[in-house]
Amino acid sequence: MKWSVVGLACVGLLLSLWPRAGSLYGLTGEDDLDGQLIGVMQWVNTAVRPQPRLAATTEFNVQPETIFGVNTFLQQEVEPEKRERSMQLLREAGFHYIRQEFTWEDIEIHGKGDFEDRRNVEAVGVVDAWAKYDQIVALAEQYDVEVIARLSNPPSWSRSQPDEVIGSNAPPDDVADYADFVRAVAMRYNGRLSYFQLWNEPNIYPEWGEQNVDPEAFTALLCAGYHAIKAVNPDMVVLLGALSPTVAMDGRNVNDLVFLQRMYNAGAGDCFDVASAQGYGLWSGALDRRLRPTVINYPHHMLIRDMMVRNGDAAKPIWISEMGWNVA
């Protein structure tokens, strides 16, 4: 009798969703029939298993002014007028936040404490490495745009091994060097920038270099940067480096849920104000609501939220740093 009731409930659930999905593909995001049937069974499993703990009524410690933002790489624009045009266009499109790289290897280029750019000295002379970032911050103020400064991409001098061996994205040998850079950025823009994201996608290749990812080592780097920022201004908001959705467990790529729990075990809960994740549906459609650690879809973030709640972080929101679906 019990399983008959459960079965009828699951059938009712699927029938209620069918008009919106229109097909098994729309319901599961799977192309082939075998995948669609497996997807339906996973739907049923999602319906009958315990639901994630979301603590939906908890008030968040950080409240954004708007939920919309856009990623920018304005430091790659050579002409200042193009940077301004980009800022103007994104503001006209209704975006209030930008996630903008403040690239360590492009600011502290030649050595520790050296903020000159001498890479093209014969052509343009010595350039202040801060100059274009100063302009980006000034433009953001001019157009009423809030900047989330992404601090990543270490310079080669911060590692003893060459880039050809360890990779250009590998972390520094000494996290104190990263903390000093983070502190320099925070001090320079104190009162002008409020949000800082420490690293990007530390759980996948190649964002940790040519080596296995390491949640414990990343936690040490995260905490060093967090304390450096808070020492400058305790009101500054620190975002966790965005975790990438993956089901891989091959060393160089580690499932984001596994990675995050190991971070919590290492003490990361004390070292960020806002969690951050990437929101890619990949092959899955917008109506796919399966909740499984081995399925990458947009509701996957509910599992991250569940883990945060279980680790005492219900008051911290999750901000999506990047998002999108495949369309072809």
5-28 in b/e form (b: 16+ CB < 10 A) is: eeeeebeebbeeeeeebeebbbbb
Both 4 and 106 in one domain: the answer is no
Both 19 and 88 in one domain: the answer is no
Reference 275, options 232, 312, 227, 229; nearest CA is: 312
Q: Are 299 and 288 in contact (CB under 8 A)?
A: yes
Residue where one domain finishes, among candidates 11, 33, 49: 49
Q: What angle do CA 60, 187, 81 make, to 5 degrees?
A: 90
Both 177 and 304 in one domain: the answer is yes
Both 26 and 141 in one domain: the answer is no
Both 78 and 144 in one domain: the answer is yes
Predicted local distance difference test score (pLDDT) of residue 8: 47
CA 114/CA 328 separation, integer angstroms:
46
Both 213 and 254 in one domain: the answer is yes
Q: What angle do CA 243, 52, 49 make, to 5 degrees?
A: 125
- 4-10: long-range contacts (C-beta < 8 A, 24 or more apart)? 6/48, 9/47, 10/43, 10/44, 10/47, 10/48
Is there a cis peptide before residue 206, judged by omega within 30 degrees of 0? yes
Domain of 122, CATH number, reads 3.20.20.80
Its domain, for residue 29, covers 1-49
Predicted local distance difference test score (pLDDT) of residue 5: 47
Predicted local distance difference test score (pLDDT) of residue 73: 98
Q: Which two tokens stand for residue 171?
A: 């972390």
Number of structural domains found in the chain: 2
Reference 104, options 182, 186, 192; nearest CA is: 182
This prediction has a pTM of: 0.90
Predicted local distance difference test score (pLDDT) of residue 10: 54
Both 295 and 225 in one domain: the answer is yes
Reference 276, options 258, 256, 294; nearest CA is: 256
Tally Cβ neighbours within 10 Å of residue 307.
20
Average confidence (pLDDT) per 10 residues, the chain, 328 residues: 51 51 70 80 75 93 92 97 98 98 99 98 96 99 98 99 97 99 99 99 98 99 99 99 95 98 99 95 76 85 96 98 77
Look up tokens 């995948």; give the residue. Answer: 35
Both 7 and 132 in one domain: the answer is no
Both 1 and 76 in one domain: the answer is no
Both 41 and 65 in one domain: the answer is no
Both 163 and 268 in one domain: the answer is yes
Both 238 and 220 in one domain: the answer is yes
Look up tokens 């999506």; give the residue. Answer: 320
Residue where one domain finishes, among candidates 9, 27, 49: 49
